[in-house]
Chains A and B, each alone.
Chain A
């Protein structure tokens, strides 16, 4: 009833009815996606599964997709993207590996309290089995790269008959996240599991993969793990003109080209800060208290684009310089100041 909604807005001005609803129960709001942490379950010594009960409006996800999570650490809201490891939607799980010195991952794995309110953005990503029409699939993962794959494996209908090979690399058997579940799937004949324990077996790379899974050319391959592994796989697939059969999920984008740094102005907010050439303008703005829109935080989703009003920025991935002009937009998450610049946020 639009008139009832309008009446409610006029009654709560300058706030919105949702703002009052939020003090009663923040999960009732359909406008903002939120959830509560209902459990934190250790997986390995430095990884844990965080179980989240989403509030109203949480859409269904396709296994393999990721969600964006906003969590308050020491009073400050930080956003990160995590692969969804659950199949169901009523309780969504993510599995976080604590990165040494990582503000959010350390907090989630070691200190997050049950009942904590978290903020969510809808599931996104195309690292899903929809990309692989054929039945034969190869998953190549390392470390926390197993997480989107686990989501896909758990999302498989029990009746689905697929020829699945999982090659997973971790320092040792004990450090394989979801180790027990993967081995059970293998024992049940649902998958063929190959574990590479780097501490004893050495590194996993494209050459090794060739030996482990000789028929890789006939499969659709889904790879997720450190940049070096993914780069190596991409080179190998490209060399054999099979790029279309390799699907890669990167958790981090490599910043290889640094900017010069300079004074960054965020003209809509009126903040000016010194920006160094190695830090993205997204992080620079956030540190200055500017409200910076963001999404995947790695240059893929364009959720962070903002107008560049003056000066120049350098793309941290490619080194490309973008200079200000009418209608020039830049992705703040992968751009650094190349001299003084003005972002309209």
Chain B
């Protein structure tokens, strides 16, 4: 995809300025509806999820104390992986977005939550809440478009470095929690000399401290506690962290990389109105379709569109408002980008492979491959 502003036909050409304002008002009304209704059952939901996740983690780590015994290794590792995924996605990501700040519970609040991940919450919140959610999919502003190591849009200039981006993507997937930490630390910017040195050093110390605490827990203390099962507990933690990395990476790729997701030129957001901001979120995000279990394990980021429209509404509400959001898309003649998990992951990977080559070469190769494989092109 190229920037929306350069597309013909333009997906929003049929909308007048008034249409866009009406769209904004419709979505504002939907948001107000949820906020008015928000209450006890939502609070019970997040508390229930947190309690269940902590019990699962505690139980899994307890089982892993006997990880020398293969069934214990399998059960404990699976449980630990699932508990880490839930903590990062349904709980951590959403709490840090402020979705539960309305409860006035200091234990479940965006200003106090520290998540089970190598990246410190403070740095993640800046990169994610402040930058990504404000400049969503704006070329040159939203670094989530490739994370600085990949090219995900035709309008991003090609460099030979990107030839290996399928490899960078695969490596990043395996080491994703460290990838996020490095990204939130803005290492790329620092290497280009665009970050204040003292600031960077302070944040780097923060990151190293967090990495050290996390690694000590998973790779030293828990194994030590397991006595004779030390080595197998070590591998169990390694595997659980890897599983979390691979899963979260795949889900996050599906948010903005699959075909059909729009990007936007840098200057196009100057003087952006609320309606236009909503529109950019709608067109710059993609959903994943699936079962309630899938939605839960993606931290409801399978409702990426709803999340980008209303990042601070409780995540359990996204599934409930999705039909109304889809109806807004239809009413304004817009495409609601969604697909099954395998399809969206495949679509994202295909884009990464295609754009590892310069534009003309890339699309030629892609078309040739598509004809061979018989898969539908974007």
Contact = CB atoms under 8 A, between A and B. Distances in A.
Interface of A: 7, 10-15, 19-20, 23, 72, 74-78, 268-269, 286, 289-292
Contacts of B112: 291
B213 A77 contact: no
Contacts of B105: 72, 77
B131 to A, nearest CB: 14
A20 B53 CA distance: 10
14 contacts: A10-B217, A11-B217, A11-B225, A13-B214, A14-B115, A14-B210, A20-B58, A23-B50, A23-B54, A75-B39, A75-B42, A76-B104, A77-B105, A292-B104
A13 B38 CA distance: 31
B39 A74 contact: yes
B222 interface: yes
Contacts of B259: none
Contacts of B222: 11
Nearest to A345: B111
Nearest to B314: A75
A107 to B, nearest CB: 11
A77 B214 CA distance: 32
Nearest to A269: B111
B158 to A, nearest CB: 37
Interface in B198-217: 210, 213-214, 216-217
B43 A75 contact: yes
Contacts of A290: 101
A289 B114 contact: no
Contacts of B50: 23
Contacts of B164: none
A15 B58 CA distance: 12
B221 A14 contact: no
A11 B44 CA distance: 28
Contacts of B55: 23
Contacts of A14: 114-116, 210, 213-214
Contacts of A10: 213, 216-217, 221
Interface in B79-120: 98, 101-107, 109, 111-112, 114-116
Interface in B18-65: 38-44, 50-51, 54-55, 58
A7 B109 CA distance: 26
Contacts of B221: 7, 10-11
Contacts of A291: 101, 104, 106, 109, 111-112
B346 to A, nearest CB: 35
Given A72-B103, A75-B44, 10 more contacts: A7-B221, A10-B213, A11-B221, A11-B225, A23-B54, A75-B41, A77-B103, A268-B111, A291-B101, A291-B109
- Most A-side CB within 10 Å, residue of B106, B107, B109, B111: B111
Nearest to B114: A14
Contacts of B39: 74-76
A289 B217 contact: no
Nearest to B220: A10
Contact of B51 (A23, A72, A269, A286): A23
B111 A13 contact: no
Interface in B205-239: 210, 213-214, 216-217, 221-222, 225
A7 B44 CA distance: 32
A4 to B, nearest CB: 13
B39 to A, nearest CB: 4
A29 B107 CA distance: 13
B213 to A, nearest CB: 5
Contacts of A12: 217
A15 B108 CA distance: 12
B54 A75 contact: no
A100 to B, nearest CB: 21
A289 B225 contact: no
Contacts of B43: 72, 75-76
Given A10-B216, A14-B115, A76 B54 contact: no
A335 B105 CA distance: 23
A12 B102 CA distance: 27
Nearest to A79: B104
A7 B112 CA distance: 22
A19 B217 contact: no
A13 B222 CA distance: 12
A75 B214 contact: no
A242 B105 CA distance: 45
Given A11-B222, A11-B225, A14-B114, A74 B40 contact: yes
A91 B350 CA distance: 65
Contacts of B106: 291
Contacts of B54: 15, 19-20, 23
Given A75-B38, A291-B109, A291-B111, A13 B213 contact: yes
Given A11-B222, A11-B225, A289-B98, A77 B111 contact: no
A291 B109 CA distance: 8
B104 A77 contact: yes
